[in-house]
Amino acid sequence: MVSVALDKKNLKKFVGAMLKQGKALGPVATENGTVLGELTAKSDIVLDYGNFKLPPKREFFPQCEVITRFDGTKVSEEPVRGQASVIFGVRPCDAQALAYLDKVFSDETYTDPYYQTRRDGALVISLACSEPGEACFCTATGGGPGATTGADIAAFSQSASVLLEAVSKKGESFLKKNTGLFREPTKKELQNKKTQGSEYAKRLSRVDVSGAPKALEKRNDSRFWDEIAETCLSCGACTFLCPTCHCFDLYEEKRGSASARIRLHDACTFPSFTREASGHNPRAGKGDRMRQRVMHKFSYAPENFGTVFCVGCGRCVVHCPSNIDIRETIAKVNS
């Protein structure tokens, strides 16, 4: 695959090249920290951030999207709007999560048109990590600071340059189209790429997720889950920030004579999750819902898609108001 080097002094031009593709998103500094924001020709992209608070899944599977409208007489499908053409700076864990979401939304038997249109239209450029976050554990879930799964191009920021490596055909054609911006990478740069993150990978916390699917089969005791979920507040911080959570709800809304059908992110931690029309809820307790969350990621997903649906980004660990730690939960499941 094609591998090129971009000198950091040419970053602005690189932004220009991305903008030629259409709407481009990348890491930009704001008063709320580094966010995945829309780029303009003037944007200075940031390369030394930890990770975005909000997962990039939202660019492909928005939290709230109108899918059908009804104007009082006829029903019309809502076209996909505002999708990005290039997304730069997706961390390897989040890129891997996109590969997992592909398994869900681009299934052989059914393809989700909204997700697929956005996915097909966007070039994803991942950016290798250089500094682990407090709760990162990507190496335990099959990833790593320099992993490239899910990306079209993998970028590696080095001292004076960014090494870009094509991962998919789409990525390769973008690099070839913009050869003027790049130069041949030096041997040293290629060598650095190989070792990038290897030191930090040693510092990441270790959790054994491989035994979890089997161990979970035996965790049918509701007391076990009630205890884990004891301090759960039933908010949706963990699921809304999770790069692989993909449950959604359909909601119909009427305003005046017009109505819309809206697809919204749902959270298995919410008490209303799976509440039936009769009012009965098969998962009435937060322990039941915690079980669902953990089973979905570490049992049902391996069964259906051959992999756990956790990429070790640590967002749920950091942002849970009660600090319920999925690493500890898995350790308890295994014990």
Partner 1 sequence: MQDQERKMKAAAKRLFDDQKVDVVVGFRKGSLPNSSRPYFARSAADAEHLVWNGFCTANLAAFLPKLFEKPARPKDGYKPPRIAVIAKGCDGRSVSGLIKENQVPRSNLIVIGVPCHGMVTSNKGAKAKKEEVARACQECVSPTVKDADITIDGEGRKPAKTAYARVKAFAGKSSEERWKAFVKEISKCIRCNACREACPNCYCKTCFADQRKPSWVSPANELSETIVFHMGRMFHQAGRCVECDACVNACPMGIDLRLFTQKLAQDALDLFGSTPGIAGDEVPMLNTFAQDDSQCFITDPEEK
Given the rule CB under 8 A, which residues bind partner 1? 32, 50, 53-54, 63-64, 133-135, 230-231, 233-237, 239-241, 249, 251, 253, 262, 264, 267, 270, 272, 314, 317-319, 321-325, 327-328
Paired tokens of 137: 């554990």
Element (H, E) at 170: helix 169-177
Do 212 and 303 form a contact (C-beta atoms < 8 A)? Answer: no
Q: Which residue, 64 or 258, has its beta carbon nearer to partner 1?
A: 64
308 vs 316 by CB, closer to partner 1: 316
The sign of the torsion formed by the CA atoms of 105, 107, 109, 111 equals positive
CB of 4 to partner 1, least distance (A): 32
Burial 184-204 (b: 16+ CB within 10 A, else e): ebeeebeebbeebbeebbeeb
Task: Select from 320, 327, 319 the least CA-distant residue to 140.
Answer: 327
Query: CA nearest 63: which of 239, 319, 263, 252?
Result: 263
Residue 250 Cβ, how far from partner 1 at the closest point, in Å?
11
Nearest-approach distance from CB 318 to partner 1, in angstroms: 4
Please say whether the beta carbons of 197 and 130 come within 8 A.
yes
The separation between CA 331 and the C-alpha centre of its own chain, rounded to angstroms, equals 23
Q: How far is the CB of 41 from partner 1 (least distance, A)?
A: 25
- Minimum Å gap between C-beta 8 and partner 1 is 23
